[in-house]
Structure 1
Amino acid sequence: MTLEPVHIRAIADLASRIDADFETPEESEVDDILPLLQELKHESKIVLKALGRVFRGKVNIEQMASCNDPVSRTFACDSGSTNPRNFEAGVTVDFCHCALACTPSDLDVHAKRTIVAATYSPSWKCSINTTEGWTSFDNEEGRSKIVRIKPGLLQTREKRMVHNVALYLAESEHMLWLKDIPSTNDIFMMDGPLYPKQLMYWMVVPSGEVQIRYDPHAKKILQNYIDIVDHFMKQQIPVIGFVKNPEDKQVVQALRKQETDLDIPWMADAQLFKSILRPPEKEARNCITYTNWFMHPNQFYESMLDTTTPLMDESLQHVFEAEDYALTFFVVFVPSMNVLFKVEAPYGLTKDEKMRSLITKKVLYDISVNGLPISLSKADSLGKIRKTERAQILKQFRKLDPDTTYNELRWSDMNES
């Protein structure tokens, strides 16, 4: 039985009572927060630092879209996954398929693919035919390999860790493989954060149940991302991470701990920046708003270099000073969609004001033209593994029976992602 009108009315009544009692922050309160973002500290540690002055910018969508594209070519990398699957024999497997898109379109670039199958079994007796090197297919246009996380390293979160290794290894290896294609006047975009944050978290958090930091593939992934950033910083070609659904909380958490009378009602940084960037209602349909660039100094991205513990027994190789790998970002708010994007880049590039200006203009131009950088949409389409294709891949397992749950039977027909 679905909800009847009487049930909808009862729920609507509850919603209206919640809505009536809630007060959104006054604009003056939001304005009082801005000066704190120039250099936000907690217990003498800098949490956030503005590059230049703190400001809120605004552009007209039609005027921005009528400008010329500030770069010659846009490259974007993305991958699709079968989603990690458990099998009754105690094996977890995920396949990730990565592609690089180019605007204007370049079919030779689009044809290149990297596929990684990541696996895990807690049993040393379980034999998985991994590959040291790459296996070529499609007349050398594609490469594939199987990797295995060491037995015993995962007591929990097996699916998440297998997915992370498959995803980040496929994407980082694909970017390194094709890194020499972008040249001066181009830009390179990653779909998601600049660094593999989920994997990095589990590599440093003290845990006896998730010890992925001891796995060589995880270490290889971190080195790959440093090599990618090194390459683009050496060439002075902008490389960015375009985060569609930012989930950070450290700014609002630090603001809440300040010795001020300011009320900080937001649970996530994106909510704070939406309040800061929301324009008057009459302008909402026709504009995009954005912030200046910020830096998160002395975070994991710098401290992971030149260290042997707890991350790894030998340090990551890098070309530039540790500070150059610091994460910098600005945020863009699209009022007509009520969505906020976060754009990340390494400090080694964004310490140059001209580079910050170029990246900002490019992102604003792409959003004005397409709502989302069109190269990211292309990469998503090229890399995606669809539901029918996932089912076809699963059928190739003849000796392994999927560890199916009731929810998978109930909801699988509705999950196309």
Structure 2
Amino acid sequence: MDTYGALNQMFQELGRAVGDFDAQQTVTAADAIAHFQQPGGNVNLLDDDEFQITHKPISEVKSWDDPWPTTYGLDGSTTRALQFNNGLLAAGSAAKLGVSGKTGNADLANRTTATLVAHHNDDEFELPGVGETGIELPSGTDAEMLRFPASDLISRLDDYLVGVSRTYAEGKHARKYAAELDGPLFIDGPLYPNPAFSWMLFEQAGEGPTYMTDNWPEIVGDIMQNYVSTIEMMYDRNYPPIGIIKTGRSSAALDSLQTKIEDNDVNIETPLPWGSDHLLFEDALYNSDDRYGDKGPIISYTPWLLQQKEGAHGESVVPFEFYDGVSLKWGDANEYIRAFFYVRCPQSDYVMRVETPHAFARNARLRERITRKALVEIAQQQKEPRAITFADQRARISRDDRFNLRDVIEQFAQNNHGNVRAVQDYNEGREYDRFEEF
């Protein structure tokens, strides 16, 4: 109680201090983002209209015609990195599609793509392919086992292992079934998955962490190719892929906005106080009538922006340009860059970035349909589109599943006379991981 009492009083003082400071601010987030119409920076308006926030009653948005009644969602889950006393690291992932609406393709929700990625820093360690084993896969399941190459050890190896396992499974799953979809595909997260997208950008820039492109360039290219090919197949079928980012640490739009303000002598002090794009747009999209106005709850959203270049360790690059790891059907890398807008749900307080490739967004009519589809889904759900929710529910690997799979490795290794023991993470043992999303 003494600990909380001291913290409580310090937090009170912080509240007073920040309240006094905030009352003196003359520029709001809504004022600041209006300057996206200024030239400069890597993020610019998609068309020539003024950058103005739109506020609509949720009751009205819910009643809009749905451009695509059938919707798909892509999500995956992972075991996290499993550690063993002999240096083995392993991570397994599963990817699923969620299906919403009436369709003859409802069975796609029963299909699974599973991956296992393992690392042992000994060149003599071998991991057979699924086809070389006696594994009997359940109906509708595709599986692949990958060996992470032996190399110089780094502190984030477990994160890299999990990143490969999850994004390879999700991208492969999307690519395999994209030609069967009869509606848009909502992706839980960005259009291009991290960390693979960042690995590619670092390679393009020739700066920053290049561990993955130095040691396993093929997997980085394969992951990104899966997503690029999915986008191309969706385009051929006239159905958009749409990324839904619910949280994010990116500051690309914020950095670009500051550049515009500074380069065009706008009378606003920089640096701007918001620490990320998410915080900037959360503040800009908030209004006091969000929940209890005369017209009921209000959903707020921005116009479309175009992220023409991505930052990579101080350099700015066009994604995929001059990158040999991916084959682009359309040739021009600018077709694949991301267009996006932000939306705020008042009843849940969620702020989301909605993004799609430039090849889709540059068409005004298609862009309007994508906007309408995303807003209808988000207004109805007050969170991500329901197809993503369905995919998440079906793909989820529980904490108990993770422990059981870890025990399986230990048991079968010992049956083969190996002295292999699972190593439990201290925080995991204290159940800290219960508060983390997979």
Instruction: Please indicate, yes or no, whether the TM-score normalized by the shorter chain is above 0.5.
Output: yes
Query: Which digits, 9 at most, give the CA deviation of each residue in 1:268-298, with x for residues without a partner?
Result: 1122212322223453961100011110114
Contact residue 308 and residue 318 of structure 2 kept, 8 A: no
> Structure 2 matches for 1:231-380, cutoff 5 A?
231-257=233-259, 258=262, 259-263=265-269, 264-281=272-289, 282-283=292-293, 286-299=297-310, 303-305=318-320, 307-308=322-323, 312=324, 316-372=327-383, 373-380=385-392
Instruction: Describe the SS at the equivalent of 2:380.
Output: helix
Residues 81 and 211 (structure 1), Cα distance of their counterparts in 2 relative to 1, 3 Å cut: closer
Q: 1:315 to 1:415 in 2, by over 3 A?
A: closer
Aligned to 1:142: 141
Contact (CA 8 Å) 2:66, 2:373: kept in 1 or not?
yes
How big is the alpha-carbon RMSD for the aligned residues of Structure 1 and Structure 2?
2.8
Q: TM-score, normalization: structure 1?
A: 0.88
| Structure 1 spans left out of the alignment, 5+ residues | none
Counterpart amino acid of residue 101 in structure 2: P
Q: Which moved more, 1:151-160 or 1:11-20?
A: 11-20
Length-normalised TM-score, structure 2: 0.84
Question: 1:168-187 residue pairs with structure 2 within 5 A?
Answer: 168-183=167-182, 186-187=183-184
Does structure 2 conserve the Cα–Cα contact (< 8 Å) formed by 1:154 and 1:210?
A: no
Q: Offset at 1:402?
A: 2.1
Q: Per-residue displacement from partner, 1:209-268 (whole Å, max 9, x unpaired)?
A: 723454122211111111111111222211101111132102222333414331311111
For 1:386, the equivalent position in structure 2 comes to: 398
Residue 127 of structure 1 deviates from its aligned partner by 2.5
Contact 2:71 2:101 in 1 (8 A): yes
Listed one character per residue, the Cα deviations across residues 60-111 of structure 1 (whole Å, up to 9, x for unaligned) are 1122223343312000010111111222211211111111010126641111
User: Residues of 2 paired with 1:207 and 1:170: CA distance?
Assistant: 26
Letter in 2 for 1:362: K
Q: 2:149 is matched by which residue type in structure 1?
A: K
Partner of 1:408 in structure 2?
428
Whether contact under 8 Å (2:199, 2:209) holds in the other structure is: no
Secondary structure at the aligned position of 1:156 is classed as coil
1:369 and 1:248, CA in 2 relative to 1: closer, same or farther beyond 3 A? same
Mean CA deviation greater in 53-62 or 187-196: 53-62
Q: Is the 8 A contact 1:302 1:323 kept in 2?
A: no
What residue ranges of structure 2 are gaps of 5+ in the alignment? 414-419
Tell me if the contact between 1:136 and 1:144 (Cα under 8 Å) persists in the aligned partners: no
Deviation at 1:346, TM superposition (A): 0.2
Q: How many residues align?
A: 406
Amino acid at match of 1:277: L
Please list the CA deviations of residues 38-57 of structure 1 after superposition, one character each: whole Å capped at 9, or x if unmatched. 24424xxx433333422211
Amino acid in the other structure paired with 1:138:
P
Structure 1: distance between partners of 2:43 and 2:428: 42
SS in 2 for 1:143: strand
Residue identity over aligned pairs, in percent, reads 19
Note the C-alpha offset of 1:167.
Answer: 0.9
Query: Aligned-pair distance for 1:316?
Result: 2.5
Q: CA, structure 1 residues 394+219, in 2 after alignment: closer, same or farther (shift >3 Å)? A: same
Structure 1's 129 and 415: CA in aligned 2 closer, same or farther, altered over 3 A? farther
* Cα distance in structure 2, aligned partners of 1:344 and 1:323: 15
Correspondence for 1:127: 126
Structure 2 residue matching 1:395: 3-state secondary structure: helix
Alpha carbons of structure 1 residues 120 and 29: separation in structure 2 relative to 1, 3 Å: same
Does 2:46 match 1:50? yes
Bigger mean CA offset, 101-110 vs 260-269: 101-110
